[in-house]
Structure 1
Amino acid sequence: MKTKAVRLYGKEDLRLEEFELPQIKEDEILAKVVSDSICMSSYKAAKQGPKHKRIPDNVNENPVIIGHEMAGEILEVGAKWQHKFKPGQKYSIQTALYYEDGPLGVLSAPGYTYPNIGGDATYVVIPRDVLVQDCLLTYDGPGFYPASMAEPLSCVIGAMHANYHTKPGSYMHQMEIVDGGKMAILAGVGPMGLAAINYVVNRKDRKPSLLVVTDIDDVRLQRAADIFTVEWAKENGIELVYLNTAGVENPVEKLKEISGGTGYNDVFAFAPVAPVIEQADAILAFDGCLNFFAGPTNPDFSAKLNFYNVHYAATHITGTSGGNKDDMAEALDCLSKGLDPAGLITHIGGLNAVAETTLNLPNIPGGKKLIYTHKKLPLTAIDDFAEKGKNDPFYADLANLVSKTKGLWNLEAEKYLLENAPEI
């Protein structure tokens, strides 16, 4: 079967090409990709090329398909996996394999390492590496875009599970956030921050009583507050506070005041910025845990940490890089049960828009850029649908559909796009 895919040949060298996929083996699966969300990790891979730890050194001769926040439909199942998978099932993939026999050992990952699988393609071959690690996960919910958001949501879930606390007199680590505690998410209204707010408030097993979300941009804060309202959080048992720290003379003092003077049990830093991390450290409660969530690009990145509090106030620090397959399974379960990640998505495009979007991702404002891989569409902000609709009925219809959900992407809009957008 022929596929069209965006392949990486080297540093900043992305090419949209058509080529023949090999016939699947008995331990492989042929699948259709429907949607893929472009991640900053793909930008980093494209900027670094073979210097990236997950990109093979010979990528110039054996290019790899990029993209890893993918969702689609299984088409054909090799004999060895017919007991578990069948054509017609929808799927997503956990890309961090931790599989020693992969092309790059434990660093192997679809979207970085493999020539025939990646999210920015029309059709792919899911290799044995993915299957033996249980990293092909079926999705039973509606539509496709929620499953594309499962990977970023799994990163948030993994971060929550990675936090830890202790009890006086005991050195046993109690994993997870404090149930009924106080939580702060700093620089928290970007795409991943929105995913965190959504997950935290929707959790049934444990959640904080207070959630404070900060940023330094009023527009981004207002968008977050419009999507995830204070009233909605209150209905789910959480006092939600949005705070622009740029307009506060002493942000640490203000944040402590909001906490009632106790500080926060769980603090997440969602930007690799030293002042944000230092602010997070300064507002920890006794036995508080700071989770450095945002991945820096500078290997020498550092920030100050109060080691007096580490010793006398039992404060902790941890960090996570992605979620594992259990986190991914939990994400898909949450999505199947109605958690809608549409608030993360701000742009829609086709496969033709992938290369330019990926290479310029830091310069494109907004949240997640969602690609429908069988379609030919320019990358377009959802907020611009109405304006484009003045001259194009297709965008006028999309604008009408998203207006039903406060300007957010939705299942009805996705269905219309899949039925009416031009093919790539």
Structure 2
Amino acid sequence: MKTKAIRLYGKKDLRLEEFDLPKINDDEILAKVVSDSICMSSYKAASQGSDHKRIPNDVAENPVLIGHEFAGELVEIGANWQHKFKAGQKFSIQPAIYYEQGPVGVLSAPGYSYPYIGGDATYVIIPKDVLVQDCLLAYDGPGYYPASLAEPLSCVIGAMHANYHTKPGSYVHQMEIVDGGKMAILAGVGPMGLAAINYAILRQDRKPALLVVTDIDQSRLDRAASIYSPEWAKANGIELIYLNTSGDDPVGKLRGLTGGEGYNDVFVFAPVPAVIEQGDAILANDGCLNFFAGPGNADFTATMNFYNVHYASTHLVGTSGGNNDDMVESLDMFGRGLDPAGLVTHIGGLNAVIETTLNLPQIPGGKKLIYTHKDIPLTAIAEFKEKGKSDPLFAGLHEICQRNNDLWSVEAEDFLLANAKDI
């Protein structure tokens, strides 16, 4: 089986290549990738090369496939896994496998560490490392893009599960956000922030009573409000407020929305010291700050009020990725009505991956969704109308998206898969 894939050879050295996959053994599965969403983590991996903790040291001689937010169909099942999987099943992958015997030890992960599995490919081999840890997950929902976005949603789910609170006189940490509490998501209208808003509103087991989402770009706030409106949040039992913090005294404005009490749960979605310090300053007694955004600089620091740590019981956690249970919950949320389409702002084909990955911080918008068997320039949904004047593919996509609040959808995906040029 031949595959076309993006392979990493070193720092900013990505190549689109066609090569033969070896025949699978009894402990492997051959799979067709349909969609992959490009993550900032892939940008970091491509920028750092073998300096990255998940990239093998010999990547120049043994390149790896990139991309880890992918979905597709199983094609051929190795003998040892035919009791559990069948050809034709749709799938998602939990990439953070931490497999001790992997090529770079405990930090091995699909999309970083392996020669034959990564999301930016047409066909891949799912190795035993993934299978023995139940990290290949069947997906029964509509379309493919939700399964690609299950991994980023699982990161948000894991973050909320990781927050904790305490009870005076007890040494037991009470895990989770405060049910009926006050929550702030700072710098929260990027793709991961949108996922957090969506999840917080649609959770059934617990949710905040007040959710304040901030940014310094009013157009981004307005777009978020058009997708996840305060009215919709209110119908689900949450007071949702979008706040522009670009003016004077953002801490005062944020605390003012709580009557001066502060927030039980604060999530920081940008690796910016001023935003972290803002989050620390708005914590309520026993408040928990979750530093969600991963910095690229190993010397990254910000100040924290340790008087409050001691006397107001404030605390800090950091999360990176979700676990298998979070992925399962993510896929389950799709079955209960959560549609991650609001995260998607661009679509493209495999041909667009290299330029997109290497320039991701400079490309505005949310998730860049790649259809790996297609040849499509990276294109914003907002550009469909103009491009549709000369290209029937984009004319059709614009018409479909316009009927869906300018959002991506399974209908748009089906149209693209049926009509876009193959790579």
Question: What's the TM-score once normalised by structure 2's chain length?
Answer: 0.99
Name the residue aligned to 1:7: 7
Letter in 2 for 1:222: D
Q: What's the secondary structure of 1:346's corresponding residue?
A: strand
Name the residue aligned to 1:320: 319
Would the aligned equivalents of 1:33 and 1:121 in 2 still touch at CA under 8 Å?
A: yes
Name the residue aligned to 1:77: 77
Note the C-alpha offset of 1:88.
1.1
Matched residues in 2 for 1:400 and 1:14: separation?
35
Name the residue aligned to 1:412: 411
Letter in 2 for 1:303: A
Name the residue aligned to 2:133: 133
Residues 249-293 of structure 1, C-alpha deviations (whole Å, 9 max, x = no match): 211111111012211000001111111011100111111000000
Letter in 2 for 1:379: L
Name the residue aligned to 2:200: 200
For residues 25-174 of structure 1, what are the structure 2 equivalents within 5 Å?
A: 25-174=25-174
Name the residue aligned to 1:392: 391
Matched residues in 1 for 2:319 and 2:258: separation?
25
Residues 323-350 of structure 1, C-alpha deviations (whole Å, 9 max, x = no match): 1111111101111332100000000000
1:257 has 2:256 as partner: yes
Name the residue aligned to 2:329: 330
Matched residues in 2 for 1:93 and 1:336: separation?
17
Name the residue aligned to 2:293: 294
Q: Which runs of 5+ in 1 are unaligned?
A: none
Note the C-alpha offset of 1:53.
1.1
Letter in 2 for 1:114: Y
Q: What's the secondary structure of 1:246's corresponding residue?
A: coil
Q: What's the secondary structure of 2:225's corresponding residue?
A: helix
Q: Which runs of 5+ in 2 are unaligned?
A: none
Would the aligned equivalents of 1:187 and 1:213 in 2 still touch at CA under 8 Å?
A: yes
Name the residue aligned to 1:368: 367
For residues 195-274 of structure 1, what are the structure 2 equivalents within 5 Å?
A: 195-247=195-247, 249-274=248-273
Q: What's the secondary structure of 1:343's corresponding residue?
A: helix
Matched residues in 2 for 1:313 and 1:394: separation?
57
Letter in 2 for 1:92: S
**Aligned-pair RMSD on alpha carbons?**
0.6
Matched residues in 2 for 1:351 and 1:337: separation?
31
Matched residues in 2 for 1:203 and 1:105: separation?
36
Q: What's the secondary structure of 1:46's corresponding residue?
A: helix
Structure 1 residue runs of 4+, over 3 Å off? none
Q: What's the secondary structure of 1:137's corresponding residue?
A: strand
Would the aligned equivalents of 1:139 and 1:336 in 2 still touch at CA under 8 Å?
A: no
Q: What's the secondary structure of 2:157's corresponding residue?
A: helix
Note the C-alpha offset of 1:19.
0.5
Q: What's the secondary structure of 1:206's corresponding residue?
A: coil
Question: What's the TM-score once normalised by structure 1's chain length?
Answer: 0.99
Note the C-alpha offset of 1:393.
1.2
Matched residues in 2 for 1:212 and 1:246: separation?
15
Count of matched residue pairs: 423
The alignment-based identity, stated in percent, is 76
Residues 217-247 of structure 1, C-alpha deviations (whole Å, 9 max, x = no match): 0010000000000000000000000000102
